[in-house]
Amino acid sequence: MFDSAHKFIKLRLRFYNLSEILMTKVVYLDEDDRKLILETRHKLGEVTKLMEELLETVEILSDREMMKKIRQGQADIKAGRVKELRRILKGTVENT
């Protein structure tokens, strides 16, 4: 029993020593490395935004009821049954 506990303590000490070594490793980055990291970070943000927009588009295209309403709205615009909010507000201001 003592022997297995002793091995466990040794393994634990080795683990901590290894983790301390890994944690204390120093990395030096030059200006080009920093620029690359910042550019990559920026591009990842753009890609994330595009992926979110793509998922939203897929959700809308997959929703039959939503697509029906969009088509109805487009038909209303073509038929002249839609007024611009700007004109409505302008008329309201002129009438007051």
Torsional sign, CA 66, 67, 72, 78: positive
Which residue did the predictor score with more confidence, 12 or 48? Answer: 48
Token pair listed for 28: 């030096």
- Burial (CB count <10 Å: 0-12, 13-18, 19+), residue 21: exposed
pTM of the model: 0.48
Instruction: Say if residues 60 and 66 touch (Cβ distance below 8 Å).
Output: yes
Q: Provide the residue range defining the domain that includes 96.
A: 64-96
In a domain, 41, yes or no: no
In a domain, 91, yes or no: yes
Per-residue pLDDT of 60-93, as tens digits, reads 999 999 999 999 999 999 999 998 888 888 886 5
Mean of pLDDT values over 46-60: 95
In a domain, 96, yes or no: yes
Structural domain count, the chain:
1
Residue 11: is its pLDDT beyond 80? no
Distance CA 95, CA 62 (A): 43
